[in-house]
């Protein structure tokens, strides 16, 4: 069972409260053994995230990259899912699926990494979409489904599910409590080196949404986007009240931070990240930052999921984290390595 970190601001409840939850998922090859295994685990985590919510609007957010290995699940090669690194997984797939890759290249008139994504895109997208649609229904919550590396997939009765645009983004999906898709949000600021080598295309700043939901207007800033002034200014200016930052930080949480080794990776995250960047904003009231942990394909992300508040205009709103270094942290995960659910019950951010 995942560990829990709770924050309930009972003395400051408003006429309408909301329940915010960040799910710190521990990924492993077993999680992606089948579509059923993935769906069952994500639905169980979503239900656990709202177990103490009561009858209030709920928001449940999953981490960046949680949907990425579904490409291998869709390929149906368990050896690839358990490979020690990405190049090894691709070599295993190439032995069996090189012909499919070539047909995708011919059909899309593209070369490079996009042909691998395109070959498995529809099947992987359906697993991702259907899993988190089910999680939203099971938890009666607005659900942000982390992210995956996929082209834009659409559905239309005469065509069924199809790739609408073969350009591959690191994109997040947001679902209503009914399970209906509300928005797809592509990451704007790609991680230097890694994401560009993966064949990704940047999202557009102008395409960022402020999504109307029962918990307020929600904006999505995928991982590095949550550190960029232009992204947060855009969401704030469009009236977003809750910003969610699905993250996968592929570095040890305790290591010296490369740009300034006098601080640790984790200290820099809280000094300069979402907690600091929502302070004084006009509309942004809360931030929800779920982190990915575990080990898949040689990727070992670490981080402490957290929920933060804009203290400007919050009056005497207290926090549930006793650490004077980082005012505005309402709740955080017990550690940076294990699965956890971080929740906060807070006043509704407004109309």
> pLDDT tens digits, residue range 77-120?
889 999 999 999 999 998 889 899 898 888 877 777 788 888 99
| Size (the chain), residues | 351
Helix residue ranges, H only, the chain? 35-49, 70-75, 78-81, 86-108, 113-139, 194-197, 229-237, 265-272, 274-277
Torsion on CA atoms 170, 24, 244, 203, rounded to nearest 10:
-10
pLDDT at 106: 85
Per-residue DSSP letter, 180? -
Q: What is the largest CA-CA distance in the chain?
A: 63
Place of tokens 């779920």: 290
pLDDT at 314: 58
3-class SS at 123? Answer: helix
Structure-token pair, residue 261: 């080794």
Q: Which parts of the chain register pLDDT below 70?
A: 1, 9-15, 313-320
List, in sequence order, every beta strand (DSSP E) within the chain: 3-8, 17-24, 26-27, 58-62, 142-145, 148-156, 160-175, 181-186, 211-213, 216-220, 242-244, 286-289, 293-294, 306-309, 329-332, 340-347
pLDDT at 104: 85
pLDDT at 11: 44
In this structure, which CATH number among 3.40.50.300, 3.60.110.10, 1.10.1740.10, 3.40.50.1820 belongs to the domain 3-155+164-347? 3.60.110.10
Closest C-alpha among 290, 313, 310, 294 to residue 221: 290
The ranges assigned to domains in the chain are 3-155+164-347
Structure-token pair, residue 57: 């609007």
pTM above 0.85? Answer: yes
- Residue 257, beta-bridge partner list: none
Place of tokens 């670490």: 302
**C-alpha atoms less than 13 angstroms from C-alpha of 334 in its C-beta half-sphere:** 9
pLDDT at 101: 87
Instruction: Report the alpha-carbon distance of residue 289 to residue 304 in Å, rounded.
Output: 9
3-class SS at 311? Answer: coil
**DSSP H or E run through 325:** none
pLDDT by residue (tens digit) across 29-38? 999 999 999 9
**In b/e form, how buried is each residue of 233-263, taking b as 16+ CB within 10 angstroms?**
ebbbeeebbbbbbbbbbeeebeeebeeeeee
pLDDT at 82: 93
């Amino acid at each position: 069972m995942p560990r829990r970190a709770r924050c309930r601001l009972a003395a400051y409840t408003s006429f309408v409260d909301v329940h915010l939850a960040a799910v710190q998922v521990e990924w492993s090859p077993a999680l992606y053994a089948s579509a059923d295994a993935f769906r069952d685990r994500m639905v169980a985590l979503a239900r656990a995230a709202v177990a103490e919510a009561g009858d209030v609007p709920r928001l449940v957010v999953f981490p960046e990259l949680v949907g990425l290995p579904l490409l291998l699940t869709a390929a149906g090669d368990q050896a690839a899912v358990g490979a020690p690194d990405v190049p090894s997984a691709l070599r295993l797939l190439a032995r069996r699926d090189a012909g499919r890759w070539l047909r995708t290249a011919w059909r899309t008139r593209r070369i490079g990494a996009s042909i691998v994504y395109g070959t498995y895109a529809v099947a992987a997208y359906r697993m991702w979409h259907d899993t988190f649609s089910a999680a939203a229904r099971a938890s009666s919550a607005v659900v942000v489904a982390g992210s995956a590396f996929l082209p834009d997939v659409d559905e239309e009765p005469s065509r069924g599910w199809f790739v609408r645009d073969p350009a591959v983004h690191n994109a997040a999906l947001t679902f209503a409590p009914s399970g209906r898709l509300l928005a797809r949000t592509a990451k704007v600021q790609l991680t230097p080196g890694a994401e560009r080598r993966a064949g990704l295309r940047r999202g557009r700043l102008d395409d960022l949404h402020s999504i109307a939901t029962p918990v307020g207007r929600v904006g999505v800033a995928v991982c590095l986007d949550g550190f960029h002034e232009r992204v947060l200014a855009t969401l704030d200016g469009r009236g977003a009240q809750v910003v969610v930052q699905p993250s996968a930080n592929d570095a040890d949480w305790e290591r010296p931070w490369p740009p300034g080794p006098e601080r640790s990776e984790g200290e820099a995250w809280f000094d300069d990240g979402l907690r600091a960047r929502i302070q004084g904003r006009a509309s942004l009231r809360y931030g929800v930052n779920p982190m990915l942990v575990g080990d898949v394909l040689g990727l070992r992300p670490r981080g402490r999921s957290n929920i933060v508040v804009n203290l400007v205009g919050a009056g005497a709103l207290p926090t549930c984290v006793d650490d004077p270094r980082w005012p505005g942290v309402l709740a955080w995960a017990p550690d940076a390595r294990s699965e956890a659910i971080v929740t906060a019950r807070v006043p509704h951010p407004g109309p």
